[in-house]
């Protein structure tokens, strides 16, 4: 049977009624703003489209379910509506890497249309937060997205937008700050919010072969992603009922503060991807941001080069979400005991470079690397090792601020109304919008890490049992408190050489949330900050 539908105004005929709507939109229509972040589990929202004006997740929608219906992607919105959303997201810092934002914008446009039909005078933030429940965003911490909603749907002039309707920004300065925070070259502008930041899976030639990891440690190569997945026998949507457990114990001693952490995934949304022509240079998996260090040493680039030479043809190498969870590096679990003078001990899963990283911020800790059965770890993951050490020492000694190895200083507090108040000094801000967005995202990541994020790992085999992105415990928009960010010269230099702020804020907010919850000795604490 064939299936007919309309995609962004064009009639499409699909020969395979078993195909997913995502496969059709991306592979047959070539619309790359619709992303695949969960491979496909229906859990990240990156592939959201409108079906007859209503938001739907495309990756788990068989195309036969939308026969004779109208499918609209971000690209298919009318030009003024699309420009308004992209300008608002740019003006509010609601898009950093840009992978999740096309789906979020489509969701919000669906909400706007529905609320417009009900003729409500205004949509409260709580309604927007609930609408975002189907999405994940790892960069922004949700609050800039809600700001973008209010800007895009508001009436009258706004100083953040010029007379041409575009965001009033200095793109070069914004990009410099974004690159500092992202850890690799990063651009800022409407194209990013539109998902056009040069992700490897989007820029690959359409006739390239597709390679995915197989269970034996090699690569399955086929003509389409769907066929390669079938060959590789990917396990989709699996979530264990086993609780996560910190694998290390705090050494015996007289400690004023102790801390044990569990396995944690960086949880970047764009899974590892690269492509290469025979004899060529592989596309970077760090298209518009560094994935918080999780993809810096990704094997996909080397594999793409080798497989392209072997097959004498362009090859695109992908990680499914399952692969990213099983093979990608994690934060090394730790067990720390600290005395009131800042001295103490730290056991940490053996990770090259972690001892030196800890010594830079907590020289009073004696660090013991331990062999722990589990997934790979990396010191490149955001603040791995040194953040845990700095937070534990600060908690034991009563310090209220943390300075990162890069030279930024941040302090944070959870206020009486639940707001996370952040102060930061990181040299010249360069662009306040990007800086505040990055700090808000770091605050979200820290709050999520301390309260709810962890992975279940089999202690005998070391295999990760949680293979769905929702099982990581990332705080949803409804669970994340408001965040305020203030550049504070009393903490340090705010005019000199710009340095990245995110890691310092990540550490400072982790400390603030931990203190707010009474310094329980295990992360995640399981105690929510906020719930609606």
- Cα 86 to Cα 77, 137, 195, 196, 328: the distances in Å are 11, 16, 10, 12, 32
Domain boundary among 318, 352, 381: 318
| CATH number of the CATH domain containing 62 | 3.10.20.30
**pLDDT over threshold 90, residue 165:** no
- Residue 384 and residue 510 share a domain: yes
Q: What pLDDT, on the 0 to 100 scale, is given for residue 123?
A: 83
Q: With 80 as the cut, is the pLDDT of residue 531 above it?
A: no
Q: Assess if residue 190 is contained within a domain.
A: yes
Beta carbons within 8 Å of 410's beta carbon, 6+ residues apart = 401, 402, 404, 422, 423, 424, 425, 439, 491, 501, 504, 505, 507, 508, 509
Task: Report residue 343's pLDDT band, with 50, 70 and 90 as the boundaries.
Answer: very high
pLDDT over 90, % of the chain: 84
Exposure string for 376-414, b = 16+ CB within 10 A, e = fewer: ebbbbbbbbbbbbbbbbbbbbbeeebbbbeebbbbbbbb
Matching residue, tokens 């229509």: 29
Tens digit of each residue's pLDDT (9 = 90 or more) over 295-327? 999 999 999 999 999 999 999 999 999 999 999
Shared domain for 409 and 433, answered yes or no, is yes
Domain boundary among 293, 318, 343: 318
Number of structural domains (the chain) is 4
Stated as kind and residue range, the H or E segment containing 212 is strand 209-213
Domain containing residue 454:
334-523
Confidence class for position 36, pLDDT limits 50, 70, 90: very high
As a whole number, mean pLDDT of residues 257-265 equals 97
Based on the fold, state whether residues 99 and 215 are members of the same structural domain.
Answer: no
Residue 532 lies in a domain: no
* 528 within domain boundaries: no
Mean local confidence (pLDDT), 3-8: 96
Of residues 233 and 204, which shows the higher confidence score? 204
Strands 257-261 and 54-57, how do they pair? unpaired
On whether the CB atoms of residues 9 and 29 are closer than 8 A, the answer is no
Question: Is residue 402's pLDDT more than 90?
Answer: yes
Residues 6+ apart with CB under 8 A from 17: 1, 2, 3, 62, 63, 64
Write the pLDDT tens digit of every residue in 214-229. Answer: 988 999 999 999 889 8
pLDDT, position 119: 58
* pLDDT band (50, 70, 90) for residue 532: low
What's the average model confidence in pLDDT over 242-253? Answer: 91
Q: Is 431 a member of any domain? A: yes
Range of weakest confidence among 52-66, 203-217, 259-273, 459-473:
459-473
For position 393, which CATH number holds?
A: 3.30.365
For residue 118, the model assigns a pLDDT of: 66
pLDDT interval class at 466 (50, 70, 90): confident
Domain-embedded: residue 258: no
Are 258 and 250 within 8 A, CB to CB? yes
Sheet holding 402-403, edge to edge: 402-403, 409-414, 420-425, 483-487
With a pLDDT cut of 70, the percent of the chain lying above it is 97
Once rounded to an integer, what is the mean pLDDT over residues 255-271?
96
Q: What pLDDT was estimated at residue 237?
A: 55
Beta bridge partners of 338: 257, 344
Q: What is the mean pLDDT of residues 29-39?
A: 95
Check residues 530 and 501 and name the one with the higher pLDDT: 501
**How much is the pLDDT for 160?**
84
Please indicate, yes or no, if residue 42 is contained in any of the structural domains: yes
Average of per-residue pLDDT across 66-81: 97
Within this chain, do residues 88 and 43 fall inside the same structural domain, yes or no?
no
**pLDDT at 38 (0 to 100):** 92
Q: What is the C-alpha separation between 129 and 126, in angstroms, rounded? A: 5
434 pLDDT band (50/70/90 cuts)?
very high
HEC-encoded secondary structure of 177-209: HHHHHHCCCCCCCHHHHCCCCCCHHHHCCCCCE
pLDDT above 90: residue 94? yes
- Identify whether residues 284 and 408 lie together within a single domain: no
Query: Is residue 372 included in any domain, yes or no?
Result: yes
pLDDT given at position 236: 64
pLDDT at 148 over 70: yes
| Residue 26, preceding peptide bond in cis (omega within 30° of 0) | no
285 & 359 share domain? no
**pLDDT above 80 (res 463):** yes
In this structure, the answer to whether residues 99 and 29 fall within a common structural domain is no
Question: pLDDT value at position 120?
Answer: 57
Give φ, ψ of 350 to 5 degrees.
-55, 120
Let me know if residue 168 belongs to a domain: yes
**pLDDT attached to residue 17:** 78
Q: Do 506 and 418 have their domain in common?
A: yes
230 and 193 together in one domain: no
The average pLDDT across 27-35 equals 95
Q: Are residues 155 and 224 located together in one domain of the fold?
A: no
> Helix, strand or coil for residue 219?
strand
What CATH number does the domain containing 180 carry?
1.10.150.120
Which pLDDT score, from 0 to 100, does residue 1 have? 77
- 103 and 172 share a domain? yes
Instruction: Using CB atoms within 10 Å of the CB of residue 507, give its burial: 0 to 12 exposed, 13 to 18 middle, 19+ buried.
Output: buried
Q: Give Cβ neighbours of residue 85 (< 8 Å, ≥ 6 apart).
A: 74, 77, 105, 108, 109, 148, 152, 193
Domain match, 57 and 101 both:
no
């Amino acid at each position: 049977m064939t299936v007919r539908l309309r995609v962004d105004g064009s009639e499409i005929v699909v020969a395979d009624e078993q195909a997913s709507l995502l496969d059709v939109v991306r592979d047959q229509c070539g619309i790359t703003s619709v992303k695949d972040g969960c491979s496909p589990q229906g859990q990240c929202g990156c592939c959201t489209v409108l079906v007859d004006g209503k938001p739907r997740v495309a990756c788990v929608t068989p195309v036969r379910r939308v026969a004779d219906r109208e499918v609209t992607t971000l690209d298919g919105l009318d030009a003024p509506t699309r420009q308004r959303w992209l300008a608002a997201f740019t003006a509010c810092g609601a898009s950093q890497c840009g992978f999740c934002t096309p789906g979020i914008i489509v969701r919000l446009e669906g909400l706007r249309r529905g609320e417009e039909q009900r003729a409500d005078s205004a949509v409260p933030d709580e309604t927007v937060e609930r609408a975002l429940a189907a999405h994940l965003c790892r960069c922004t911490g949700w609050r800039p997205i809600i700001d973008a909603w209010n800007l895009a749907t508001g009436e009258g002039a706004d100083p953040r937008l010029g007379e041409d309707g575009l965001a009033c920004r200095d793109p070069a300065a914004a990009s410099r700050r974004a690159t500092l925070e992202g850890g690799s070259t990063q651009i800022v502008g409407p194209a990013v919010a539109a998902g056009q930041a040069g992700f490897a899976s989007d820029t690959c030639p359409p006739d390239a072969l597709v390679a995915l990891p197989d269970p034996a440690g090699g690569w399955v190569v086929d003509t389409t992603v769907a066929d390669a997945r079938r060959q590789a026998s990917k396990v989709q949507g699996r979530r264990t009922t086993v609780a996560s457990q910190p694998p290390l114990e705090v050494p015996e001693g007289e400690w004023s503060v102790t801390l044990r952490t569990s396995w944690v995934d960086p949880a970047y949304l764009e899974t590892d991807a690269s492509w290469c022509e025979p004899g060529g240079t592989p596309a970077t998996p760090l298209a518009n941001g560094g994935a918080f260090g999780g993809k810096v040493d990704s094997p996909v680039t080397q594999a793409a080069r080798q497989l392209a030479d072997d097959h004498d043809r362009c090859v695109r190498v992908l990680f499914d979400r399952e692969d990213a969870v099983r093979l990608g590096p994690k934060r090394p679990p730790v067990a720390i005991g600290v005395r009131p003078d800042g001295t103490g001990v730290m056991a940490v899963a053996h990770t090259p470079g972690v001892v030196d990283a800890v010594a830079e911020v907590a020289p009073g800790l004696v660090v013991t690397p331990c062999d722990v059965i589990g997934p790979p770890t990396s010191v490149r993951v955001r603040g791995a090792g040194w953040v845990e050490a700095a937070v534990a020492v600060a908690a034991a000694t009563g310090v209220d601020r943390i300075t990162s190895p890069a030279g930024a200083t941040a302090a944070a507090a959870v206020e009486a109304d639940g707001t996370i108040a952040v102060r930061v000094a990181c040299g010249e801000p360069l662009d306040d919008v990007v800086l505040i967005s990055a700090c808000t995202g770091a605050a979200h990541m820290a709050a999520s890490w301390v309260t709810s994020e962890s992975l279940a790992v089999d202690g005998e085999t070391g295999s990760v049992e949680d293979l769905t992105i929702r099982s990581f415990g990332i705080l949803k928009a409804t669970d994340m408190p408001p965040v305020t960010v203030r550049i504070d010269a009393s903490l340090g230099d705010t005019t000199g050489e710009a340095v990245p702020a995110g890691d310092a804020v990540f550490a400072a907010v982790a400390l603030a949330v931990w203190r707010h919850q009474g310094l329980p000795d295990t992360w995640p604490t399981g105690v929510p900050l906020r719930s609606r």
